[in-house]
Amino acid sequence: MITRKLSILLTVFACSPVFSSALPETIDVDISAIESKVIRWRRHFHQHPELSNREFKTAEKIAAHLEQLGLEVQTGVAKTGVVALLKGQREGKVLALRADMDALPVLERNDLSFKSVAQGEYRGAEVPVMHACGHDTHVAILMGVAEILAKNNDFSGTVKFIFQPAEEGPPPGEEGGAELMVKENVLKSPDVDAIFGLHISSGIDINTIGYKPGGIMAASQAFEINVQGKQTHGSRPWAGVDPIMASVKIIDGLQTIVSREVPLTEEAAVLSIGKISSGVRSNIIPESAQIIGTLRTLDKDMKADINQRMEEMVPAIAKAYRATAHIDIDKGYPITYNDPALTSQMLPSLQQAAGEEKVLQIKAVTGAEDFSFFAEEVPGLYFFLGGKTPGNEQPFPHHTPDFFINEDGLLLGVKVFVQLTYDYLGA
């Protein structure tokens, strides 16, 4: 039996930072030389984006590159995902590196020479497609990392490269993303010991890293409320039951959950309504209404409490206005959680790659990431890579037509992943 004292010593040892030394000069040279390739790849993917679960050409290009490097490549994972294995020169742990591949139904609005003019299908309609969240940069960076490590595999263990589809969520009625990859055992055979991921940020200066132990991104849940009333002429509202009025009061009531019932000094929470639809004419009080929204939380208990209050409040408010209402809250994405011990261990590696003054501990953000499904299975570290031009005080946010990334920051992404790999696996 391990004594308590020995157990404490082992825990301290396991959580202590790794020693991080500068990468060999030959690797630094290789990293510098690959910048033009990474930018070229990024521009190709940006110009030819594909929606979730439809990343066919993207996956083909990734797989061709990995096969050319001599890696063991598997395609069609979680529909369109690509997974590749690179073995080091000695036995050791298994480290996964992840990049997401999908784009968004957004019309690009800028003057880039590689601007997207792609079209796709979303919810039965033809839509413009744009890499409005930077996943094109993630793919290009990880392709560069694969090339560097394939050429310099003097490390112990194995690297599993995961190019993941549908991070933005699969189309209605389909499975996809990290959740499906986990279900298909992407973290098995060989079993992954830890996973690292990054996200480009239009709000952080280039050549800067943002990290946070514990919850770094929120859990995300979509919800749908269907309100049932009784249709009548608009001139005789007393003859019917107005679902629009009931909907307004439901929305108003839901906002009080966050503003009046949640201890916001402990963690943030956001409840937003994205759509309300009802009716066809000005003089008809309709029969029904639909409300769609999103909930973001950074604490599991807080998430459960808010869900319970939403389920209690919606039918009760509807009843007060003689209507009925039902709410469906989906499972959504879990909290993106950085394992504190792993984060502490790898912090020197981030600092070695970027410079200590360029590695900043940030506050959690209320955006969500399905990397969280991987990090629920194995220890994970997820960090932000700066993509903003220094001095730009009003960068365009992600998921908008004007979203822009400064490509001068991409090479640091390659260097950080390589540094993390060497330090975690050991030379």
Which positions are catalytic?
A: 333, 407
The angle, 0 to 180 degrees and rounded to 10, between the axes of the packed helices 35-47 and 135-151 is 140
Beta bridge partners of 133: none
Write the burial class of residue 377 (CB in 10 Å: 0-12 exposed, 13-18 middle, 19+ buried): middle
DSSP character string of 60-75: HHHHHHHHHTT-EEEE
Give 209's contacts (C-beta < 8 A, 6+ positions apart). Answer: 350, 353, 354, 358, 359, 360, 383, 384, 385, 386, 412, 416
Give 409's contacts (C-beta < 8 A, 6+ positions apart). Answer: 200, 206, 207, 208, 385, 386, 387
Cα atoms in the Cβ-side hemisphere of radius 13 Å centred on 150: 19
- Alpha carbon 19 to its chain centroid, in Å, reads 29
- Go through 200-230 and write b for each residue having 16 or more CB atoms within 10 A of its CB, e for each that does not: bbbbbbbbbbbbbbebbbbbbbbbebbbebe
In 3D space, the residue among 219, 213, 217 whose CA is nearest the CA of residue 305 turns out to be: 219
Give 309's contacts (C-beta < 8 A, 6+ positions apart). Answer: 257, 261
Residue type for position 425 = L
Q: CA 98 to CA 196: how far, in whole Å?
A: 7
Can the peptide bond before residue 286 be classed as cis, meaning omega within 30 degrees of 0?
A: no
DSSP character string of 129-147: -B--SSHHHHHHHHHHHHH
> Residues, the chain, total?
427
Give 5's contacts (C-beta < 8 A, 6+ positions apart). Answer: none
Q: CA 82 to CA 30: how far, in whole Å?
A: 24
Q: CA 254 to CA 313: how far, in whole Å?
A: 7
What is the spatial order of strands in the sheet that 81-87 belongs to? 72-77, 81-87, 156-164, 90-100, 194-205, 380-388, 209-211, 359-361
Neighbours of 397 (CB within 10 A): 13
The SS3 call for residue 322 is coil
